[in-house]
Structure 1
């Protein structure tokens, strides 16, 4: 079976590449187009050309922004046989935050169109699974949950000694909580804080650089495990918003990287699905007290059942693709 894995920027989509690796291990042939553009109209046209040329058996579409591929279902039956829709982010709710109700209505129209046209649906967590079920026709499409867990190989990064830093990893922006993180650095001037990541407005956020904040910028992923190992506490200091119910411990890559490496994690603006050892989820208004409480704590030792790896998804992915045949 030939499977086309499709996203806005396929070669840069982590979840897509994880699926690719597993599918190839299961013996499927995968196709991934490369678009040398970020123009949505051009991407849409290039994807259709690719599909018409390659005629894959299955198109596995990873969502956001859904408008790019909204008319792909027209090619089903002639240029490809089956479609899987991966609902990994609530695009409608994201747009509502910037463009209010009209943005959500437009985006969810396309979400519903793609979900209803799919033969099967994959998603990252329970809340998104429940949301996408409301788009299906009387539950006709089965929904399979495939969480965002790191590969086992992520653990093999360089072993570096802990240096006591409180660490922020990811895009330097308000949505990821950089403002809250820098506020913590001001509140605790005697503690070392580390930022691993970057963003278009990072210079603005870091214009008044605090002496206790180390900024490393983006780092190659193979170095990330080593940097996390140096941390005393890892933080995801997001503010609560309408995305909070859909952002959980099953969908956040970096949270599971932190926990698999045995780190204490303080998070806000996310929702708990499972009880996880060493994870404290608080309201963003309680971050200061949480950091104070955790400064002298040591993480609990992990048992085999405490780890979450991508490889645990193999059986579910195998089931999805056997079902689609």
Structure 2
């Protein structure tokens, strides 16, 4: 993962990448069509869109890392603030320094969960009522960590948090409470001596497993969830993913769309390791950090951490192939 600029806007953890699984069939058209900016944001106000989740009806919820906000972007391109996390006068956040809102997850009833990292006892998972309102901290995580990616397994009532600084996947009750260090190990840590030090980053729950990316190591990992909820052995499912951020499973298979932040690309990666670039800077990407899919709508959050220009929410239409997966 690249070194981020430290001035006015300091980049939080680039969120994660992904790939894998059933190889897509050939398509005569583009795998992502009609990419366009659904909204443009203001870098000077800390509106760096780090994580995105899709809602029904074509809208999306986005975390603004340095504005400490979670907002809703409607299909009419209006931006509504759902919640603002409390200010931290003296943040000491690992790897980032500033107070940042990162990973975002949404429950079926509209409740939102967001990671807030400050380097203080406010570091942890916060809950936002459906439709917006006052955020409430439901789990405290170590202040020397960087809770980055966030995934919700609503079927089992748990949240998973990828900690980029401590190389740990935390498991938190959805209702709130004490976190458990669910998975640890070298595969989840950053590289020794790395200038950036980001280990576990993006995270998704998929097919009875937790998938995690390690930004420093450029890997995608799969951790099976045991019948008792424990973590199985970590398996590396992809390597060489330099500059990757968040990832998403656009269908039921293991095919992944990955945000390649430093090269301003979104890639489709097949289980055999072959890849296609489906979006580029020419489509409006500006350091993509997170992806979300609902139906055939694809959302890409562009935080502009490195380009320092045009943070935006990109929207495109997925090829019908993904609906069959």
Greater per-residue strand proportion? 2
Structure with greater contact order relative to length (CA < 8 Å, sep ≥ 6): 2
Greater per-residue helix proportion? 1
Q: Which of the two has higher C-alpha Rg?
A: 1
